[in-house]
Structure 1
Amino acid sequence: MALIQTGLIWVTYAIAIAILVAIASIFVYIYQTPRDRAASVTIVCIFTMSALLATVLLMPVDIALVSSTSSSKDGRKKDWATPDRVENIVYTLKIVYYSLYSLDAILCLLVVPFTYFWYEEYDEDATEDGSQTVGSRLWGAFKYTLAFIALVVILFLVGFFVPAAKKAKQDKHLDLDYFKHLLAENHGERALTFALGLLITIGTLIYLIYTAVGLALLPVALIKSAPSISAPSLAANTATQLEANRERQRQLEGRNEGREGGLDARDRRELESLVREERTLIRRERLAAESSGENRNWLVKAWIKIEAIFRPLKLLGGFVLMIIALTIFASMLITGIDKAKNSICKVNCGYVLGHINIFQPLNWIFVKSSKVFPIDYIIFLLLVLFLFSASVVGLATVGIRFLWIILFRIRKGHTSPQALLMATVMLTLIVLAINYSVAMMVAPQYATFGPQTYCDRPARHPGEQPDCTHHRNAIRHCTELAENPVAKDVCTPSVVSTFINRVTVNFPFFGVVDFWAQFAFLGIYLIVFITTLFRIPKLDTDQLDADLEEDEEEGLISSTGRRFNATWQDITGRTKQNYGTTNGARNGSGSG
């Protein structure tokens, strides 16, 4: 029975990874620009995103495996869960975690930078005339990557030799067995712990900006944005306006043929206006063709059709996501207040909380659902994908910046390979921060012990487990502060919570920064959310010339109006025959 349960848990994880690879592939394929698509960039981005999401989704597997060793109904250790079997489960999870964390660090700090420089080194002319070979290109990319290799070496050396926190060792609250276990580690573990703590902290600083903004914007954007005109109708209407525009230009040029001095001032101004309008209409025509899937591959066309089919559900989905986002906000705020007030060692251990003192909705949902696997896994998967999507929305909205200077923009079908690689690094760091936030703030009890309980009664005979069959009120949830000998034997903390708590206990600075950054996250979310509720979306007209007016043209497809006829036309790919003619006649030559 135990082997079947363990196998089911790992099979579920494998299915989730397959789903993640598909999601990462679709994300990369949809966002990258078709003109500059590179196989190396695509493969590295997909693999990196799949690896980092697989790291986060190992958490419910971890919790399910350690929780399967005990019965939450009577608080007893299962007969098959001998100390050796439990140790084997924990050891296997440690190997998987260390492998994934190390892989994430290598991908983020070495592989992605090397791929970036490899792409930058490519010179089409030099390749054609033979002056650039694969070897020279490899050396050029490796040359610049040496700085990142040195950074990784320094990072692990600092972590290897840096001493553990003295205050943490002297804190009387950390004499408990759970915390002693966190402090007892070798130098190799300390090096990895330090590196992970630093990456989580850097990721948290990125996470509190991009994910907070995206978490506030994503639901509101779904509620407020809907098509006022379909892509086929826009294409037909634009073609009519463009034809009328060019006909008017021909009339003006024909009227002034042979006239000395050429066009008069009035006609010249009108012609210049028509030329500017023609450029805008050409861009609009190109955008409409891209939006309707013309000259695009089958995957993009299918994605456009699916978006159109589910477009009427955007309003309902936006309200649901808004409720989920507010629940996440409330849960994080409750946990933050609880930790700030009731943490047993405060700053000395990064605000580790012994047990939950205030009811927390998301934690309660996860603990209850974890009793029936894989319900909690499905909920966890949806939560991670929601936070990941919010991070992508935040990146697309804010852009990749250095202070106030925009370095790259992240947009569907217009993201350069360099921007995609930088976005991948940022998402890697953000997902590590999400891992901390979910485990320590969103659902701390679930992330540490899951549904595990223990029987708080003495055993009838030495060597036997206590029996709470007829004493349900004696069953207690496992916590870090439980010093009952029975709790020590029954309760097994998850590997992920042990690893993250090891970071905050051994290096309290990381724990303090990560903890208080959660309040900054909540503050940014609240400001953006309130602002977005009362702010009407408008087109970005300041970047029209600088960005070829593509931002404005993309906004022409969406507005706050609701037209289900436009949705149907996007699904079928056809428009009414008289739409463009009627609208074009009504609007004349149109307005850019």
Structure 2
Amino acid sequence: MAGLLQTSLIWIAYAVAVGLALVAATITTFTWQAPRDRSAVVSTVAIVSITALLATVFLLPVDIALVSSTASPALGNKKDWATPEHIDRVLASLKVAYYTLYSVDTLLCLVVIPFTYFWYEEYDEIDEEENRNRTFSSRLWGAFQYTAVFLVLVVALFLVGFFVPTAGGKGGGKHLDLDYFRKLLAENNGEKALTFAVGLLVTLGTLLYVLYTGAGLALLPISFIKSAPSISAPQLSQTTASALEQNRERQRQLEMRNSGRNDMSAKDRRELEALMREERTLVRRERLAAEASGEGRSWMFRVWNKVQVVFRPLKLLGGIFFLVLSLLVAVSMIITGIDKAANSVCKQRCGYILGHINVFQPMNWIFVRTARAFPVDYILMALLVLCFFSSSVLGLAAIGIRFLWVRIFQIRKGRTAPQAILAATVMLALMILAINYAVAMLVAPQYANFGTQTFCMNPPLRAGEQPDCTGHPDWIKPCSEAYQDRAAKDVCTPTVMSTFLNRVTLNWPVFGAVDFWAQFAFLAVFLIVFTTSLFRTPKLNLSEIDAEAEADEEEGLLASTGRRFGATWQDLTGRTGEQGQRGSSNRNYGAASRS
């Protein structure tokens, strides 16, 4: 009964997390999508896809929590209710959840999203008159023709994995002295095809993860710390309207003064040209203030803006938290990477799998210690994977969707095209596979593989005796792949995710080697972006950028640091206060104009 209750609580927590993921996916889609290009089909597919991706991310903490719940860390043995039959049922439920989610993710990213992309393109590429004459079946057939290419690629991928021999199939497994590793070698062609497909997708996702997640992890704390504005949207709108009225009144005075003349004086002409340039800037600023206030936007966008305003004062604390977390993650990955490179049981022949941690690793230590107060470790692991996912989204927004150095799509709040939303979703799906690899293999390898499970490593036992560590806490050892003790085999149950990833790297060592060394590239990108973002402020040259970039520069007024709490209250209420505050507003505007 106790085991059933604890397992049920873990799955209930997961269900709540998925529900919150659905809300977050809906808000994210409508916040980032351009209102004028909004499509119901694209929005629905994006919301479902992002929810499925977040559900996949949150399944790793569930996996760790379930296998950890079967053992007693203080005694080094299985709990009374954790019978082999019960453990098999728990692992079977996890496998069903993993296979279901990854199948849904694969179907969405390789079939549904490409089909939706081409479906939208079929509509977007023709004029309105022809679109009215376009039949549903013709659009359906046109989108299916392009999607068929992706179906062919999927089939080819599984066929290659079906026939290409694995490392174990060629006798490559003889160097493995540990039973745990030998059991991971694929024994049938169907399993080979699946591990090959996943290994290839993990490797492709790792290439995206290095660039986007590495940059995003460095920018995430900086974006929180530097995001509080000094001037509210209503205040900016009021001061801009006042300045625009004064500007146009001065233009009318100049035109009336020179109405009876054949030619305007050079001084008045220069002043009028300067006023016209200022007017264009003020019009852009007025539009941006209206967008920031939510005018002409959906109710969901306005509600989201209000929520952001309420929690704006807490962003500084959140930024400090993510700064500490990012540095801890980077340090832990460096330690594990060096440990794997130096002490891996079989080096590149098995993808640098590490039998057990040989040095102190801070993230792994934190998770093991917090696991004593369930569900603290579960919450921390969920925050960790969510941090990686948020970093990937932020990296996409900062860098954009590119092919080499050519930017194909730009990810901007309220300005993202439907095609960019769909392409970003596919890229996030690939990066999630890489995130699972990084968390399970480098960030917290021992905890992600065995959770809080321990076993009693006492002197050799006679036949029929059970290990007993009562009064001998030094005999209790954390579970690891390297131990061959009979007690360890009876107690230690690896997580489903770590088992599958280890199977991929053992059967296809080239994937394991690429994924491992790519983590150092990830750390290099993180270090470069983090260092430059601390000391470098972007500068725009108005003579070399287009009108949209000029608008973006004006939008930077909303991201400058200064009087945070006054701007927050005015954004929340939509009012700028009494007459006495207007003089302050004009002074703020004058300072902003001079900048």
TM-score (norm 1): 0.94
Contact 1:209 1:521 in 2 (8 A): yes
The AA in structure 2 aligned to 1:560 is T
Deviation at 1:91, TM superposition (A): 2.2
The AA in structure 2 aligned to 1:437 is A
> Which residue among 150, 153, 161 is the counterpart of 1:151?
153
Partner of 2:74: 73
Partner of 2:568: 567
Residue by residue over 1:170-226, the C-alpha shift from the partner in whole angstroms, topping out at 9 and shown as x without a partner, is: 354413211111104322222121111111111111111111111112212322343
* Rounded Cα–Cα distance in structure 2 between residues aligned with 1:497 and 1:535: 40
Secondary structure of the structure 1 residue equivalent to 2:482: coil
Partner of 2:493: 492
Deviation at 1:19, TM superposition (A): 1.2
Secondary structure of the structure 2 residue equivalent to 1:296: coil
The AA in structure 1 aligned to 2:274 is S
Contact 1:459 1:465 in 2 (8 A): no
Contact 1:388 1:431 in 2 (8 A): yes
Whether 2:229 is the aligned partner of 1:227: answer yes
Partner of 1:349: 350
* Rounded Cα–Cα distance in structure 1 between residues aligned with 2:55 and 2:117: 23
Secondary structure of the structure 2 residue equivalent to 1:476: strand
* Rounded Cα–Cα distance in structure 2 between residues aligned with 1:376 and 1:72: 14
The AA in structure 1 aligned to 2:143 is A
The AA in structure 2 aligned to 1:228 is S
Residue by residue over 1:158-180, the C-alpha shift from the partner in whole angstroms, topping out at 9 and shown as x without a partner, is: 11111102598435441321111
Q: Which has the higher mean CA deviation after the structures are superposed, 439-448 or 62-71?
A: 62-71
The AA in structure 2 aligned to 1:554 is E
Secondary structure of the structure 2 residue equivalent to 1:197: helix
Identity level (%): 61
Secondary structure of the structure 2 residue equivalent to 1:122: helix
Whether 2:193 is the aligned partner of 1:175: answer no
Secondary structure of the structure 2 residue equivalent to 1:401: strand
Pairwise mapping of residues 232-271 of structure 1 onto structure 2 (< 5 A)? Answer: 232-260=234-262, 262-271=263-272
Deviation at 1:548, TM superposition (A): 5.6
* Rounded Cα–Cα distance in structure 2 between residues aligned with 1:248 and 1:591: 19
Partner of 2:310: 309
The AA in structure 1 aligned to 2:398 is T
Deviation at 1:145, TM superposition (A): 0.8
* Rounded Cα–Cα distance in structure 2 between residues aligned with 1:317 and 1:86: 38
The AA in structure 2 aligned to 1:267 is D
Deviation at 1:14, TM superposition (A): 0.8
Contact 1:168 1:349 in 2 (8 A): no
Residue by residue over 1:550-570, the C-alpha shift from the partner in whole angstroms, topping out at 9 and shown as x without a partner, is: 211211212133443222211
* Rounded Cα–Cα distance in structure 2 between residues aligned with 1:588 and 1:3: 64
Contact 1:544 1:552 in 2 (8 A): no
The AA in structure 2 aligned to 1:25 is T
Contact 1:212 1:524 in 2 (8 A): yes
Deviation at 1:234, TM superposition (A): 0.6
Contact 2:46 2:421 in 1 (8 A): yes
The AA in structure 2 aligned to 1:337 is I
Contact 2:212 2:399 in 1 (8 A): yes
Contact 1:199 1:432 in 2 (8 A): yes
Secondary structure of the structure 1 residue equivalent to 2:408: strand
The AA in structure 2 aligned to 1:557 is L
Contact 1:237 1:581 in 2 (8 A): no
Pairwise mapping of residues 401-412 of structure 1 onto structure 2 (< 5 A)? Answer: 401-412=402-413
Deviation at 1:236, TM superposition (A): 0.6
Contact 1:228 1:558 in 2 (8 A): yes
* Rounded Cα–Cα distance in structure 2 between residues aligned with 1:126 and 1:560: 46
Pairwise mapping of residues 196-215 of structure 1 onto structure 2 (< 5 A)? Answer: 196-215=198-217
Q: Which has the higher mean CA deviation after the structures are superposed, 37-46 or 82-91?
A: 82-91
Deviation at 1:79, TM superposition (A): 3.1
Q: 1:540 to 1:188 in 2, by over 3 A?
A: farther
The AA in structure 2 aligned to 1:404 is W
Q: Which runs of 5+ in 2 are unaligned?
A: none
Contact 1:226 1:311 in 2 (8 A): yes
Deviation at 1:541, TM superposition (A): 4.2
Residue by residue over 1:390-432, the C-alpha shift from the partner in whole angstroms, topping out at 9 and shown as x without a partner, is: 2222111111111222111111111111111111111111111
* Rounded Cα–Cα distance in structure 2 between residues aligned with 1:268 and 1:492: 82
Secondary structure of the structure 2 residue equivalent to 1:551: helix
* Rounded Cα–Cα distance in structure 2 between residues aligned with 1:233 and 1:207: 40
The AA in structure 2 aligned to 1:312 is P
Contact 2:186 2:507 in 1 (8 A): no
Secondary structure of the structure 2 residue equivalent to 1:226: coil
Partner of 1:35: 36
Pairwise mapping of residues 502-581 of structure 1 onto structure 2 (< 5 A)? Answer: 502-539=503-540, 541=542, 544-547=545-548, 549-578=550-579
Residue by residue over 1:39-83, the C-alpha shift from the partner in whole angstroms, topping out at 9 and shown as x without a partner, is: 111111111111122112111221222222222221222333333
Deviation at 1:112, TM superposition (A): 1.1
Partner of 1:444: 445
Q: Which has the higher mean CA deviation after the structures are superposed, 464-473 or 485-494?
A: 464-473
Deviation at 1:538, TM superposition (A): 4.2
Q: 1:544 to 1:129 in 2, by over 3 A?
A: closer
TM-score (norm 2): 0.94
Q: 1:240 to 1:63 in 2, by over 3 A?
A: same
The AA in structure 2 aligned to 1:38 is S
Q: Which has the higher mean CA deviation after the structures are superposed, 326-335 or 276-285?
A: 276-285
Pairwise mapping of residues 426-445 of structure 1 onto structure 2 (< 5 A)? Answer: 426-445=427-446
Whether 2:65 is the aligned partner of 1:64: answer yes
Secondary structure of the structure 2 residue equivalent to 1:407: strand
Partner of 2:105: 104
Deviation at 1:460, TM superposition (A): 6.3
Number of aligned residues: 591
Contact 2:409 2:420 in 1 (8 A): yes
The AA in structure 2 aligned to 1:68 is S
The AA in structure 2 aligned to 1:213 is A
Q: Which has the higher mean CA deviation after the structures are superposed, 568-577 or 78-87?
A: 78-87
Q: 1:397 to 1:90 in 2, by over 3 A?
A: same
Partner of 1:54: 55
Whether 2:143 is the aligned partner of 1:141: answer yes
